[in-house]
A and B are shown apart, each in its own frame.
Chain A
């Protein structure tokens, strides 16, 4: 299997010390090779993290803890407050789950979620997540390349875009009972086909080696690390290949604030706030937040800037 190389946040950003220690204990005590094999990618990362730990002062980019990743979410289907998705997603049922892949493809198919995971496997992808609200986290996702799934259904030559649709379940998602004051449901997103086929683009089904929590987009969500977080549609039910640009929820609601491309770009401000820097969640203190300068394409410029050759990023933001 070829290993895709991409810029990863520093080893110091990866595994919190307590996890590192608990995993090492687990490996030590586990006579079962199966467990050790399942954990191995993490133990490799943890070994590196252990070396950095010895410096004795907080590294400039600490890893985001699982607790922060699961308690600070934008998932308006559950509510607009960052704490709502964790607090109000208890009724959400994410298994059984089916994902329909159709449109301009030769072999449309409906996958059961576990079948999908079995067929395409699980890779670890450590990505920085940059929210359009100017904060970021470092998240160890588990998932597979969207490109692998798309190749399996054989896109027709007319296919230019990929449309994604999320779920509508007002009885399980209190934010969908809000009426006219929020987004319209279902949440939809879209990518150009070449963006969707890019090896950095994944469908994530887990985080920190755990099944995807409801508040993070269970059971399967999109992760496009060079774009603002809202492009990462959660709880996907349908993926459709089309020949025209599909509607994307935030873009439809406020096209002047959220572009279809939504590439991370420190030079293009949101009309209501600067995008030049970002707050690092889980670092800093109550009296002084931790910030870092935002990078073009969220630090993945080398891998993806070719996709946008000749485009005016100020116009097509």
Chain B
């Protein structure tokens, strides 16, 4: 690990963390684009819902990408491990924006309505649970917390599998009719997660 980072630093002058930060900032572009277009009045008659839906889609896309990293390394030999953390944080960021647009921009923090939402409406419960999983994962992704959690970090971050499943269900049942895209994403989640069930003979699995 350290050898790799030294060599990459020699190559282009960026430390791995700097590269992670740059990737994160680069993929905030959709957020900046939407916000700019919304302020300019180019997102149609209901810019708030446009942003709500767009940010939700980006959240699940980045969640999918972060889940693809490990199988890519194990089965395709492509090592993008460096990008896993920023991708996970992007999923969290877009999920947080998605929730902000729902709670503040659209629902005006109407606690009566929001309480009914999270107590009676399954698709919103799935969405909220997804965010409640992503939140501690985002908070424990700094070097300090990773070190502090030690051997508990890994099992804690396996909760992301649950988040991916919950997010897929949230997306699938959010519409008035069935839409194709949520099913494509759910299928990808299934594929990425099922890779985790395949054990490699030479790596003994630890409990």
A residues lining the B interface (CB < 8 Å): 67-68, 71-72, 76, 80, 82-83, 133, 135, 180-183, 250, 253-254, 257, 269, 271-274, 276-277, 279, 281-282, 284-289, 291
| B35 located at the interface, meaning its Cβ lies under 8 Å from any Cβ of chain A in the complex | yes
Which one of B46-54, B161-169, B198-206 contacts A?
Answer: B46-54
Known: A181-B180, A286-B38. A274 touches B43 (CB 8 A): no
Contact residues in B for A135 (Cβ distance below 8 Å): 46
Is the CB–CB distance between B177 and A82 below 8 Å?
no
In the complex, what's the smallest C-beta–C-beta distance from B188 to chain A, in angstroms?
18
Query: Does B144 touch A at the CB level, under 8 Å?
Result: no
Q: In the complex, are the beta carbons of A286 and B177 less than 8 A apart?
A: no
* Residue on B nearest A65 in the bound complex, by CB: B45
Collect the chain B residues with CB atoms within 8 Å of residue A68's CB. 45
A271-B121, A274-B116, A286-B35 in contact; A181/B179 too (CB < 8 A)? yes
Give bound CA distance, A167 to B110, whole Å. 41
Bound state CA distance, A187 and B178, in angstroms? 17
Q: Knowing A80-B175, A253-B177, say if A287 contacts B46 (CB, 8 Å).
A: no
Name the residue of chain A whose CB is nearest to the CB of B178.
A181
Residue contact B106 to A279, C-beta cutoff 8 Å: yes
Bound Cα distance A32, B180 (Å):
54
In the complex, what's the smallest C-beta–C-beta distance from B125 to chain A, in angstroms? 11
Q: A282 CB to closest chain B CB, in angstroms?
A: 6
B148 beta carbon closer than 8 Å to chain A: no
Smallest beta-carbon distance A71→chain B, Å: 6
> Which positions in B face A, CB cutoff 8 Å?
35, 38-39, 43-48, 51, 104-106, 108, 110, 113, 116-117, 121, 123-124, 174-180
Contact B106 A286 (CB under 8 A): no
User: Across the interface, do B45 and A282 meet the contact criterion of CB distance under 8 Å?
Assistant: yes
The distance in angstroms between the C-alpha atoms of A295 and B110, with both chains bound, is 18
Give chain A's interface secondary structure class.
loop
Inter-chain contacts of A277 with B (CB < 8 A): 110, 113
A71–B45 touching, CB < 8 Å: yes
**Can you offer 28 A-B residue contacts whose CB atoms are under 8 A?**
A67-B45, A71-B44, A72-B44, A76-B177, A80-B177, A135-B46, A180-B178, A181-B178, A181-B179, A181-B180, A182-B178, A253-B177, A257-B176, A269-B116, A271-B121, A272-B121, A273-B121, A274-B113, A274-B117, A279-B46, A279-B48, A281-B45, A285-B47, A286-B43, A286-B48, A286-B105, A288-B104, A288-B105
A276-B113 CB under 8 A given contacts A71-B44, A281-B45, A289-B48? yes
Q: Are A289 and B177 also in contact (CB < 8 A) when A68-B45, A82-B46, A282-B45 are?
A: no
Knowing that A80-B176, A273-B117, A288-B108 are A-B contacts, what are 19 other residue pairs whose CB atoms are under 8 Å apart, sorted by A's residue number?
A: A71-B45, A72-B44, A135-B46, A181-B177, A182-B178, A253-B177, A272-B121, A274-B113, A277-B110, A279-B48, A281-B45, A281-B46, A282-B45, A286-B38, A286-B47, A286-B51, A288-B105, A289-B48, A289-B108
Q: Across chains A and B, which 6 residue pairs bring their CB atoms closest together, nearest first?
A: A286-B38, A68-B45, A72-B45, A286-B47, A181-B178, A274-B113
CB B89 to nearest CB in A, in angstroms, measures: 23
